[in-house]
Amino acid sequence: MTDFILPELGENITTGDVVRVLVRPGDTVSKEQPVLELETDKATIEVPSSVEGRVQDVKVKAGDRVNVGQTILTVEGEAGPGGAGGTGKAEESSGERARGSAKVVDIGRAPGSTTPGAKSATEEAPPAPASPSVRRLARELGVDINAVTGTGPGGRISADDLKAQVRGRLADGVGVGTGVAGTGVAGMRVATEPLPDFTRWGQVERRAMSAVRRRTAEHLSAAWTAIPHVTQHDRADITELEEARKRFTRQPEAGGATITMTGIAVKVVAAALKIFPQFNSSIDTAAGEIVLKKYINVGVAVDTDYGLLVPVVHNADQKSIVELSVELAALAEKARVKKLSLEEMQGGCFSVSNLGGLGGTSFTPIVNLPEVAVLGISRARMEPVYQRDTNTFAPRLMLPLSLSYDHRVIDGADGVRFLRWVVEALEEPFVLALQG
């Protein structure tokens, strides 16, 4: 008999909810065959088996929460690398195979958090050497165990090493679980007041937060707490632009994709980031440095049934509006069906959130940490606009824009200049051709 245990699945992924069990007792499984579909706070993953043989017992079911290192099923047959008799090195290989074949929707690390030269999901370092009890303590403390230096034999991490890491971060005024400057005493998270008993006033229904929704809440809370937000509002006259968009909305090379305002906005933003490089940066608070990026990747918020996701268009400045519209349509569809890859969720420099299809006049988007700015787009409306040359009012299609930015990096005057450049590029496409 050989146990198949849940292997290391990716950076900081320690637990997940079972969506589906893909085998049952009596089935024959082979190595690399998917046996479990798992939703974590970072991903929806198909977990492949590292053992082969006939399934004797399945120890989990849909809805269960499972942890790395937990036994998933027992098979009768050859003991594979992830089995009970496997070595740590073999278990690492199992985890690497799982990561390599996973279908991933990444929200555990904010788009843009990958630095140039960082390893991809399939090139990660081996799991940190630590016992299950130490790993469990790290999760409870909110510490990334892979960032801890072990003092034991072979670099093995102990509970004392974890505590030393926590003490050091508290001394620096950094929140333990967020990785960003915290609030409250010694940088710890501010405690929330307990909820009242809502049933006193009538019936209620409780629904568990999905892993995606839970992680989104944590990430946005950290961003709102760490970043001193400023939001600048403006409007662009897109009357001529919209007429042109409708004329050229379906290009043969677009493969049926519609030329959208989002695609146009991404192209304009990509050009603006070259003119205003401070908007294409991140703050390294530990080093006291601003990281200026030499590449331009733009994230676009997508509303899905299970939460907000921000897939990233890489090298957006090197793509035409047609190419951007095609890629955005494909990314949005993959986001809605949980088929985004890890790479498609990482490396963002700036985000765009278009709520124009839903309505509204303006909003204050939250900066997607560790980025420093985000552009919000609301619904365009026909409005009477004063025409100085004729001293009359004329109906014009006006597009509301809202730019939120990190005041630690970007001054108010620069925020106005950036947004005015975006407005002028939308109103006068020659500006984009001239400077973009």
Cα distances (Å, whole numbers) of residue 373 to 379, 410, 416, 421: 20, 9, 13, 15
Q: What is the rounded (10 degree) CA torsion for 319, 321, 325, 326?
A: -50
Active site residue 229: no
Report how far residue 167's alpha carbon sits from residue 315's, in angstroms, rounded to the nearest whole number. Answer: 40
From the candidates 229, 233, 314, 407, give the one annotated as an active-site residue. Answer: 407
Tokens standing for residue 277: 């490089």
Strand ranges for 363-432 from DSSP E: 373-377, 381-387, 392-406
End-to-end C-alpha distance for the chain, whole angstroms: 64
Helices 261-275 and 321-336 pack at an angle, to 10 degrees, of 110
Query: What CA–CA distance (Å, rounded) separates 229 from 364?
Result: 9
Three-state SS annotation for 129-145: CECHHHHHHHHHHCCCH
Residue 313 is inside which H or E element, if any? strand 312-313
DSSP state of 341: -
- Residue 239 to residue 360: CA distance in whole angstroms: 19
Give the span between the Cα atoms of 400 and 402, in whole angstroms: 7
Token pair of 330, please? 């494909």
Look at strands 298-300 and 350-354 and give their pairing: parallel
| Catalytic sites, residue numbers | 407
